[in-house]
Amino acid sequence: MYGWAGQRLRVDLTTGKITKEPLSYEYRRKWMGGRGFNSDIIYNEVPPHLDPYDPRARVCFGMGPVSGTAAPSTGRVTVSCKSPLTGGFGDSNMGGHWGAEVKYAGYDQIVVQGRAKHPVYIWIDDDKVEIRDARHVWGKFPREADQMIKEELGDEDIHMMMIGPAGENMVRFACTFNDVWRAAGRTGTGGVIGSKNLKAIATRGSGTVKIAEPKKMMDICNRLRQAFKTDPMGQGLYAIGSLALINVANRDGWLPWKNMQGGATPLANNISGEVHSQTVLKHREGCYACPICCGRFTQIKDGKYAGEEFGGPEYEHAVPTGPRLGIIEDANDVWHNARLTNDYGMDGIETGGVISTAMEWYQRGFITTKETGGLELEWGDAETVSRLIPMIARREGFGAILAEGGERAADKLGLPDEARYYTLTTRGMTLPGDDPRGLGFGYGLSFSVGTRGGCDHLRSLCCLELSGALYPGLNTKILGDERGNKPITTANKPYMVFYEENQKGTTDSLQVCCFTTHWSYAVLTPDQVEYLNAVTGLDFTEEEFQEIGERIVNLERAYWNRIMSGAREDTVPERFTTEPMPQGVEYQTNVGVVFPLNDMLKQYYKYRDWDPKTGFPTERKLKQLGLEYVAKDLAPLRTKYLSEAEKKKKKYHY
């Protein structure tokens, strides 16, 4: 066996039982790794109506066949569970070095179930696996707990997965970290881990990844690394990180200003990548085998937050608790809020999303200081936000309500239906800081159909319309012509989303960073297939590669279908389809635009071979993908879904 370690590690925290099971050739060929392995476990072992915090629920950590090799950026890990935020399928993806270390210890996947009697951590030292007491690190920030566990184990070089206080308190959008700063941010995976009384998984591996054709593999990797030296997107990410998007978003009108009431502000440059690099960038950080090194490490040098340090921020880490809340005048306020969400272990997108929703409820009179416990939720009030973030993580006061997410918060507050217009969620998850009225209609379509909760900037990652223009001829090669690189057009967008979702499904199963394959297109599908075959010694084709991604997308979609979520829920917040984009700056390029979702959905369903009435994959498509058992599961549910057509759309699912 080459590439794969060939075994799955299972840990039951209720019984203390630790088992290892082999992964057959047929299984590995069908699901590839990482996201594919995880999605298979969640579909088959976590019933669709089980409470995500039930001890029987699983949380999975998936590595890929090229994890721990020299292929560009092979340090990713997919974390999967039933989402406590949406009630549907949930996963998220993080970088760092932990994934490679798990492979070196001899595992392709870790599956955890049960609930320990008290806080614990798992210690993996190659074949030796232990469950250890973690009461002394419970309540600690990830940076503190990481150091304490390393000192306890006597090894500074181990790597670990970790949650923060928000995960311990089962905040529904708590995230998961490895190497302290690399976050799997979305869908609330940290809350599920916390519900199991699991603080961390510390890992030391002394093995290697066996490669079938070492010389060929190194030749491929050297060629690809040379390509990054002149790659335009790779160079930009190294120079100023994903904050490079700030000024682009402001120009094209998709910066999330005040809960996306607007898409641009004259002050955007205050938090741009260019300014960050000149003022507070301490050093750059790269994940395992990364040829880009886009990671930032920030040190605030002046003002009341002088001396604060943290890893990041990324674009989607800075804008939610910055411009989305009207905070932008003093960049240090934005950096400080990013540090808080890191230390407490919360998804920055959802944190900013639920606070900005509450601010708009306050603005429009749906709530007052009576409901907020005296907090005046005014736009741009950085002091109040810096108080509210820890309150959410600790579930204190008004923070306990917001810790439930926007839709549940509206329920707890007893708000009328019209207030839900401002939650900006799909399937219960907040839209990221990317307005489809400017970012692009492909992105908007992917927000409506994404399989980890709807509004999602990583499920298809339609960079063919964002950075694709930097690669002349690429849209023509994939889509047939160059129209797709224009963001504000429906041309080619349904097929773009179909293609990118499939490609991303397999990339996440390889556990390769999408910055090398989507934002940057230095590595294309033929390159991925080439190094996959060199590592495994197998004969994957491009068609099979894409089909694996398509199989994963359909399995995850079926999980939603089993909880009666389908075509009715394939939507985006009405703000984007009904409100023309206002002018925020004079050079803005998308004033007056609305998002034409319905023009694209029907064509997307045709590419997917999904029933347009239900949004369920057809029986024909499922059988074609080798998912006959899924077709059987969905057969009695199709009619049931149609019979509920007149019922109110579900905002989230228990």
Q: Tens digits of per-residue pLDDT, 116-168?
A: 999 999 999 999 999 999 999 999 999 999 999 999 999 999 999 999 999 99
- Residue 654: predicted pLDDT: 41
Which residue ranges of the chain lie beneath pLDDT 70?
645-654
* DSSP-derived secondary structure letter, 114: S
Q: What percent of the chain has pLDDT over 70?
A: 98
Backbone phi and psi for residue 20, each to the nearest 5 degrees, phi listed first: -130, 135
Is omega for the bond preceding 52 within 30 degrees of 0, making it cis? Answer: no
312-342 pLDDT, tens digit per residue, is 999 999 999 999 999 999 999 999 999 999 9
446-499 pLDDT, tens digit per residue, is 999 999 987 778 888 899 999 999 999 999 999 999 999 999 999 999 999 999
**Sequence-distant (≥ 6) Cβ neighbours of residue 522 within 8 angstroms:** 72, 224, 227, 228, 231, 233, 234, 516
* DSSP-derived secondary structure letter, 589: S
User: Dihedral of the CA atoms 476, 478, 479, 481 (nearest 10)?
Assistant: 0
Nearest of 631, 633, 629, 626 to residue 610 by alpha carbon: 631
Per-residue tokens: 379: 């736009």
Domain ranges of the chain: 7-204, 237-423, 441-521+541-643
- Residue 623: predicted pLDDT: 98
- Residue 202: predicted pLDDT: 98
Per-residue tokens: 321: 């608790």
How would CATH label the architecture of 441-521+541-643? Orthogonal Bundle (1.10)
pTM: 0.97
Three-state SS at 262: strand
- Residue 647: predicted pLDDT: 59
| Terminal alpha carbon distance of the chain | 41
Q: How many helices (H) and strands (E) does the chain have?
A: 26, 17
Domain 7-204, CATH homologous superfamily name and number: Aldehyde ferredoxin oxidoreductase, N-terminal domain (3.60.9.10)
- Say if CB 460 and CB 517 are below 8 A apart: no
- Residue 646: predicted pLDDT: 56
Fold annotation for 237-423: 1.10.569
- Say if CB 292 and CB 270 are below 8 A apart: no
- Cα within 13 Å of Cα(276), Cβ side: 33
Per-residue tokens: 288: 């395992």
Q: What would you report as the CA-atom Rg of the chain, rounded to the nearest whole angstrom?
A: 23
